Structure 1
Amino acid sequence: MKTAIVIPARYASTRYPGKPLAELRQKDGSAKSLIRMTWEAAQTVAGNHAIHVATDDDRIAEHARGFGASVLMTSTEAKNGTERCAETLDRIDADLIVNLQGDAPLTPPWFVEALIARMAEDREAAVATPVLRCDAHTYEMFVEDRREGRVGGTTAVFDRKGHGLYFSKEVIPYIDPGKRPDPIPVFHHVGVYAYRPDALRAYVEWPEGELERREGLEQLRFLENRATVACVEVEARGRVFWELNNPADIPRIEAVLGA
């Protein structure tokens, strides 16, 4: 399938204003912006894919063009990255649109490649998104965030066919602290999506859902309208994955980068 990778980026994040332009120290001591690191991660996905930064902010657009990115300007009306991706449909030629959100520079290329492969074989799926089984360290980071009152990563539960049942900012399913099983049955939802164009067109026609609004999770609009979201289990292959949701996540990610 002809695939376009779109990196939605907005400046006015509620939890972290200016997040796409936040700089992270690299192993060599230099610094790169979050949006540049995400664009470079997109370059490593196998296949000849078009890559675009979609933004409504001139500061982000100017910065992205400065490091060589294709930029598609979008309106200020988009409520989330999925709506922003939908705004680009009339300017790209693709059978599949991948939303590689700009706050996940540690996303390995095989996560995206797994979504593309799943969408080629699962005709029921309107959308595909990766899930990663939590190891003990990642699970403890989830629990620590909730303990400290931070809204951090997202968890997912899905049926036997791998189709999503629910996504939450809470840690689900519940685990009795005194009876933690091995392996841990909690899956970290990775904020990357592959959509069929028709799914994106439908998405912007649906009103914001109650669950979507309460959780602040855009993908719940698909579930609330009975669209099938394929949860694709991926493996970290020894790499630590974490999104940049809060300023507190910067040192976590810099530690992974070896800075």
Structure 2
Amino acid sequence: MAEQAVLVIPARWASTRFPGKPLAVIAGKPLIQWTWEAAKRCRKAREVVVATDDRRILDAARAFGAQVELTRSDHRSGTDRMAEIASRIRSDLYVNLQGDEPAVDPEEIDRLIDAIGAAPITTFRRKLQPDEAENPNVIKVVCDRRGYALYFSRAVLPFVLKVGRDVPRWAHVGIYAFRSKALRKFAGFGPGELEQAESLEQLRALENAMSILTVPTAMRCLGVDIPEDIERVERILKQR
């Protein structure tokens, strides 16, 4: 029988760079609604849950028809928030979808779920563009020959000493599928030194010898990080 997953969309109000971001209006709808509508089109989604610590987001999500759960406000990451949802809603698989990605492709999410196999965690990688190498907001990943992540970083990765050598470079696309056991294990660890240094939650898994399988994708998430991103994202959404 084909596996299905609970898709969780963590949404918090207190973003440092963009407070209230989940409710920012993008092309006539709250940002969180765009992600929820895409998630609802996933064939492998058994349930789609918005997980928030704020009643304003709770009320807005209910207004557009979402299943929504109120969570604690002290979670360190979206995955920790998803783990709280997993304690209430049982499933073999859980997918963490960023709430600020209005153009996520539901078919790719289905493919990520199909790809998990025996891996505890899966995520996406895409080809890194030359102009992204120095950008710390574009997360890089290096993998072994099977596609398992060796390291994630905001820095240029890998460093190429010999000029002209053709080395594949990958960017990380921050959507994750977790086996339920792996999710519980992940949430049980405290934040590690590397996770805190780079502010990348996926490093908590690697620091604790948890494998992360990366799946190649051509999907480019738009990402809304600051208010100035809204105009750019609206323009792209209207073109699509």
Partner of 2:157: 172
Partner of 2:140: 155
Partner of 2:105: 108
Q: Give 1:253's match in structure 2, choosing from 208, 233, 239.
A: 233
* 2:35–2:101 CA contact under 8 A, matched in 1: yes
Partner of 1:235: 218
Secondary structure of 1:246 counterpart? coil
Q: Does 1:212 align with 2:195?
A: yes
Closer, same or farther: CA 95–79 of 1 in aligned 2, 3 Å: same
Q: Does 1:189 align with 2:172?
A: yes
Displacement of 1:143: 5.0
Aligned-residue RMSD, C-alpha: 2.1
> Structure 1: how far apart are the matches of 2:26 and 2:93?
31
Displacement of 1:98: 0.5
The aligned runs of 1:22-171 (5 Å cut-off) are: 22-25=24-27, 31-119=28-116, 121=117, 123=118, 125-134=119-128, 136=129, 139-140=130-131, 142-143=132-133, 146=135, 151-171=136-156
> Structure 2: how far apart are the matches of 1:60 and 1:180?
49
* 2:6–2:47 CA contact under 8 A, matched in 1: yes
> Structure 1: how far apart are the matches of 2:232 and 2:198?
24
After superposition, the C-alpha distances for 1:165-189 in whole angstroms (9 at most, x for unaligned) are: 111223422468x8595xx833221
* 2:142–2:150 CA contact under 8 A, matched in 1: yes
Q: Give 1:9's match in structure 2, choosing from 8, 11, 30.
A: 11
> Structure 2: how far apart are the matches of 1:114 and 1:226?
25
> Structure 2: how far apart are the matches of 1:65 and 1:158?
40
> Structure 1: how far apart are the matches of 2:198 and 2:231?
26
Aligned-partner residue type, residue 96 of structure 1:
L
Closer, same or farther: CA 244–180 of 1 in aligned 2, 3 Å: farther
* 1:158–1:164 CA contact under 8 A, matched in 2: yes
> Structure 2: how far apart are the matches of 1:3 and 1:81?
17
Displacement of 1:247: 3.0
Q: Normalising by structure 1, report the TM-score.
A: 0.84
* 1:153–1:243 CA contact under 8 A, matched in 2: no
After superposition, the C-alpha distances for 1:140-184 in whole angstroms (9 at most, x for unaligned) are: 2x357x3xxxx52312111111101111223422468x8595xx8
Q: Normalising by structure 2, report the TM-score.
A: 0.90
Secondary structure of 2:44 counterpart? coil
* 2:4–2:113 CA contact under 8 A, matched in 1: no
Partner of 1:28: none
Q: Does 1:199 align with 2:182?
A: yes
Gaps of 5+ in 2: none
Closer, same or farther: CA 10–167 of 1 in aligned 2, 3 Å: same
> Structure 1: how far apart are the matches of 2:8 and 2:178?
11
Count of residue pairs the alignment pairs up: 236
Aligned-partner residue type, residue 55 of structure 1:
T
Secondary structure of 1:193 counterpart? strand
